[in-house]
Copies of this chain bind each other. A is one copy, B any other.
Amino acid sequence: MNFFEDIPVGEKREIGRHTFTAAEIKSFAARFDPQEFHLDEAAAARSHFGALVASGWHTAVVFMRLIVQYHQQSAAEKMARGEKFARIGPSPGFKNLKWVKPVYAGDTVSYANEVIEKRASGSRPGWGIVIARNTGTNQKGELVYEFQSAAFIEMRGE
């Protein structure tokens, strides 16, 4: 991660993409969201969705995996170049998560992260808070998922 001072507001990063297979949709749903339109094609066809769809929480946690991997790779690359990199603190939570459109079996969702605001932390000296809008867009270019995150990012402090 870049240090707080080096993160420009308005910066947008492509985080990664993921294709939601029917098998994976059902496996996640059986464990965490056992509603019939996430578990069974025939029942999903009769539902308001009309076909098998991923749990909204599945869409959410895949984003989490991809952004963690993105930051880990970024940190590894900085280490390999001998550069310092910022620590990321715990997230206090987030706002306004929206499941805008269904994610159907076979859909590929591309995730992005855009910095919309940053400020120094009042409670943690040496740290800033970065607010970002995170989005998921399907292969047709339709927004399917978004939420606003807040994260503590270490300051360079030089």
**Interface residues, chain A, CB within 8 Å of chain B?**
31-35, 48-49, 55-57, 60-62, 64-65, 68-69, 72, 89-100, 102, 147
Contacts and interface: CB of A to CB of B under 8 A. Distances in A.
Given A56-B91, A90-B48, A91-B56, A34 B98 contact: no
Nearest to A55: B64
Q: Is the interface of A mostly helix, strand, loop or mixed?
A: mixed
B96 A65 contact: no
B65 A33 contact: yes
A35 B35 CA distance: 29
A49 B90 CA distance: 9
A55 B90 CA distance: 10
Contacts of A55: 64
A57 B59 CA distance: 12
Contacts of A96: 93, 95
A69 B61 CA distance: 20
A121 B25 CA distance: 29
Contacts of A72: 34
Contacts of A64: 32-33, 55, 57
